[in-house]
Amino acid sequence: MHKENRSMIIYDVAVIGAGVSGASTAYQLAHYNLSTVLLEKCVDVCFGVSKANSGIIHGGFHHPVNTLKAKLEIRGNLMFDKLQYELGFPFRRNGILVVAFSEEQMATVQRLYEQGVANGVRNLEMCGHARLMQLEPKLNKEAVGGFFAPGGGTIEPYRYVFSLVESAVRNGVNLNCDFEVVSGSFADGCWRLAAADGREVRARYVVNAAGLYADRISRICGGEEFRIHPRKGEEYLLDRSSDARPERVIFPVPTRHSKGVLVIPTAEGTTMIGPTADPTDDKEDTATSSDHMQRIVSLVSRMVDGVSPRDIITSFAGLRPVLDGEDFYIALSEKVPQFVQVAGIQSPGLTASPAIGEYVKDLLKTGGLQLIEKREYDYELPRRHEVRHESLETLDRLHEENPAWTHLVCRCEKISEAEIVEAVRKGHRTLDGIKFYTRAGMGRCQGGFCSARIMEIVSRETGLPLSELTKNGGVSRLTVGRLGDRPVLL
């Protein structure tokens, strides 16, 4: 994916941040006769807020329609079918159930249902106990009632972002990773953005989609003063064989600051439980705790049957970039010219992201950017072969072409050597980048068997020595030496 920057170019637009908002914006801009550069401070795209997302496509009922959140969530939800058809990322419209476990909670359920109807969401269905159990037999039998939002679903967020960026790059957008913006200045109709390593990008317009660090980018560019308040959410992933896996996304009745602890059947077959919602001052705090794990397991056990701590294969934490007032902040800056703020994109930011890209594109037009659609645009990404989903006939054909297609590297998730090679050749050179692109290392053993082999393939394909390979860039080195002919992992 990486594209080297040619420093003398003056781009039309520089987008800072390659998470769901920045990637969606770059994807939209790629449809026009513009020169666009996407800047990401991490070693790969989707390594910030977006990678630790719950992967839910929300149903448009949690927020009133007079909020920007709700407007973009509802519009974004409707855009995913076409995007999935063209870009091929994992996505399931399996529906959302909001479930009450007491008569008192039914008042909130009724309010959310009515809010969804007022928002224009179609096919919402109020449900009694019998209908709930019909829709989701895994529910705890103490469920009183709730409602069903069939338009909700699940998505694999990193594959979604990778697909958006790949499409944007195929259609002319330049991508610069490891580009941490440390200064920005505007003069003579042009922004100068400098990276920590001394590289510089110039652009007429800037989009600040920097996630947790949008407040810092705004400050160093002379824009509005605001503060991002990180809110940590711990999540726990259950093995794909867990008896607790439901068919629908299960929501409890929400609280003031959180949609609650959920049960999420992920788009690729595992089950996620969580998240928590804890304020923190540390934008790098992604630790998890046994206390939170026990609390989440206890809460989820009251919602669905079959939950067991033995099924937990990994834990992770994400940080929501929360603003005072809780709504999205997407607007042309009133302090500096040709600068668009895209901040406070917390839940339902993933669902809203296709509409966020459209909204930012329209703001840029309002701000004076000329938009002329390209006569030729490559809408569809080439179909990816994934061994775990292929027929025996297709596997036979692939093996004839290249035996690496049937050489499994990750046994848990059934990922082949050829899939690892494809990921490397598309620019993913870290263990996490390979994992997010292919799912290698996401299964029961969490990379215990395949990590060393993946590293050898990356080293072979790139020429990089094993000692220079990292988990996710920076100082996250993976080896301390060799034992015989195998690398010794940290």
**Distance between CA 78 and CA 124 in Å, rounded?**
15
Catalytic site includes residue 428: no
Q: What is the DSSP letter of 477?
A: B
Kindly state the average pLDDT of the residues 182-193: 98
Counting residues of the chain whose pLDDT is more than 90, the rounded percentage is 93
pLDDT per residue over 322-362, tens digit each?
999 989 999 999 999 999 999 999 999 999 999 999 999 99
Say which of 58, 62, 63, 229 is annotated catalytic: 58
pLDDT per residue over 222-269, tens digit each?
999 999 999 999 999 999 999 999 999 999 998 765 678 999 999 999
**pLDDT of residue 139 exceeding 50:** yes
What is the predicted pLDDT for the residue at 258? 66
Q: Which two tokens stand for residue 343?
A: 């901040």
**Distance between CA 177 and CA 24 in Å, rounded?**
16
**Distance between CA 263 and CA 306 in Å, rounded?**
12
Kindly state the average pLDDT of the residues 291-305: 95
Q: How far apart are the first and last CA of the chain?
A: 27
What is the predicted pLDDT for the residue at 6? 46
What is the predicted pLDDT for the residue at 392? 96
What is the predicted pLDDT for the residue at 87? 98
Q: Is the dihedral of CA 85, 87, 90, 94 positive or negative?
A: negative
Q: Is 142 left (phi over 0), alpha (psi -120 to 50) or beta?
A: alpha
**Distance between CA 79 and CA 354 in Å, rounded?**
7
CATH fold for domain 93-153+229-322? D-Amino Acid Oxidase; Chain A, domain 2 (3.30.9)
List the CATH code of the domain at 387-489. Answer: 1.10.10.1100
**Distance between CA 53 and CA 425 in Å, rounded?**
26
Kindly state the average pLDDT of the residues 454-458: 96
Which is it for strands 36-39 and 174-176: parallel, antiparallel or unpaired?
parallel
Full DSSP string of 220-247: HTT------EEEEEEEEEE-TT-TT--S
**pLDDT of residue 1 exceeding 60:** no
What is the predicted pLDDT for the residue at 371? 98
| Chain centroid to CA 214 | 17
| Chain centroid to CA 16 | 16
pLDDT per residue over 32-43, tens digit each?
999 999 999 999
Band of pLDDT at residue 481, cut at 50, 70 and 90: low
**Distance between CA 160 and CA 354 in Å, rounded?**
11
Band of pLDDT at residue 438, cut at 50, 70 and 90: very high
**pLDDT of residue 363 exceeding 50:** yes
CB distance 55 to 268 below 8 Å: no
What is the predicted pLDDT for the residue at 2? 38
What is the predicted pLDDT for the residue at 254? 85
Please state the domain extents for the chain.
Answer: 1-92+154-228+323-383, 93-153+229-322, 387-489
- Average pLDDT of every residue of the chain: 94
Band of pLDDT at residue 315, cut at 50, 70 and 90: very high
**Distance between CA 319 and CA 62 in Å, rounded?**
20
**Whole-prediction pTM value?**
0.95
Torsion of CA 341, 343, 349, 354, to 10 degrees: 10
**Distance between CA 35 and CA 14 in Å, rounded?**
9
> 424: Cβ–Cβ under 8 A, 6 or more apart, which residues?
434, 457, 458, 461, 462
If one counts every other C-beta atom within 10 angstroms of the C-beta of residue 377, the result is 13
For the chain, the residue count is 490
Greater confidence, 478 or 30? 30
**pLDDT of residue 3 exceeding 80:** no
pLDDT per residue over 7-17, tens digit each?
479 999 999 99
**pLDDT of residue 181 exceeding 90:** yes
Kindly state the average pLDDT of the residues 62-75: 96
CATH fold for domain 1-92+154-228+323-383? FAD/NAD(P)-binding domain (3.50.50)
Q: What is the DSSP letter of 43?
A: S
What is the predicted pLDDT for the residue at 326? 87
What is the predicted pLDDT for the residue at 475? 87
Helix (H, G, I), strand (E, B) or coil at 478: coil
